Structure 1
């Protein structure tokens, strides 16, 4: 595979993982139930841990440790050899496992189209609809201030 094809696959995988990370576990499970999931094994059982969050004051300030956040992670390998990794904020081990499974399926030539159509696309549409609805609600409360210049007498 040439580098442009590899970059395209990486971009698709990155976009899919962004959608899955921002989706609810119940929504992922509901859509994943519509997919014929091939045989797979857990390479890393879902587990919870902590990551250090780093911050900066201003755009160019020195980094500092802001605090810790809980995360869940998992790794899954399909019978055909594709390996998927799943990470999510919080202590939802099952969501991390489903994300890892979807990551592996997105890499599979046999399953990528089905997963995109039945899982990723509906979740992306729901995410966009929610974002648009919030934008409309915010726009409804917007107040435009302007200055009117009055002429003297």
Structure 2
């Protein structure tokens, strides 16, 4: 284990877990989330607090990952915040999401599942029935894209030796 430097963020385990499931929900396809929501029973009552609404955010970068910040450009983002109550959640919970693009349904469903994941009564069920299958499909997709990219690899050292 390495010691943390002042620039390394220390992320509490519960925050790291939420970051992981939010990444999975944000990268999921809208159709996958719609299917998961349609299969979910019983559904909690959903009240919209904010959105879903689309807007723009400024994407910033850093030269050499640590240098001076600069504005890279704008990205379209959709956000939603919902309050869930009633079965199956144990108490009122709030879920929120920000997803790239303008898919309002995607942002709303990601916020709903985030709210259910915040409730300890249904967290394990949501992880087992929604998040884990989505992570598995995303991992398979990533692996197939990486394999496709590796198949186009050119060994320039070998090519250079042929001309000697």
TM-score (norm 2): 0.79
**Match of residue 15 from structure 2:** 10
Superposed displacement of residue 69, structure 1:
1.2
Instruction: Map 1:121-140; keep pairs closer than 5 Å.
Output: 121-140=132-151
Tell me how far apart the structure 2 counterparts of residues 11 and 137 of structure 1 sit (CA, whole Å).
30
Number of the residue aligned with 2:77: 71
> May I ask how many residue pairs the two structures share in their alignment?
144
5+ residue gaps, structure 1, are: 1-5
1:61 maps to which residue? 67
Question: Does the aligned pair in 2 maintain the 1:35–1:114 contact within 8 Å?
Answer: no
Map 1:1-153 to 2 at 5 A. Answer: 7-36=12-41, 37-79=43-85, 80-146=91-157
C-alpha change, 1:56 and 1:10, in structure 2 (3 Å) is closer
Deviates more, 1:79-88 or 1:61-70: 61-70
How big is each residue's C-alpha offset from its partner over 1:38-88, in whole Å with a ceiling of 9 and x where there is no partner? 122111121111111112233343212222111110101111221111111
DSSP 3-state at the match of 2:61: strand
1:145 deviates by 4.3
Q: Which runs of 5+ in 2 are unaligned?
A: 1-10, 86-90
Q: Note the C-alpha offset of 1:20.
A: 0.9
Q: Alpha-carbon deviation of 1:14?
A: 1.2
- For 2:8, the equivalent position in structure 1 comes to none
CA RMSD of aligned residues (A): 2.0
Q: TM-score, normalised by structure 1?
A: 0.84
The range that moved more, 75-84 or 138-147, is 138-147
DSSP-derived class of the 2:146 partner: helix
The Cα offsets for residues 116-137 of structure 1, whole Å up to 9 and x where unpaired, read as: 1111011100000001111111
Name the CA shift for 1:63/1:140 in 2 (closer, same or farther; >3 Å): same
Find the aligned partners of 2:18 and 2:106 in 1 and give their Cα distance.
Answer: 17
- Find runs of 4+ consecutive structure 1 residues off by over 6 angstroms: none
Aligned to 2:154, the other structure's residue is in SS state: coil
* Structure 2: distance between partners of 1:49 and 1:96: 12
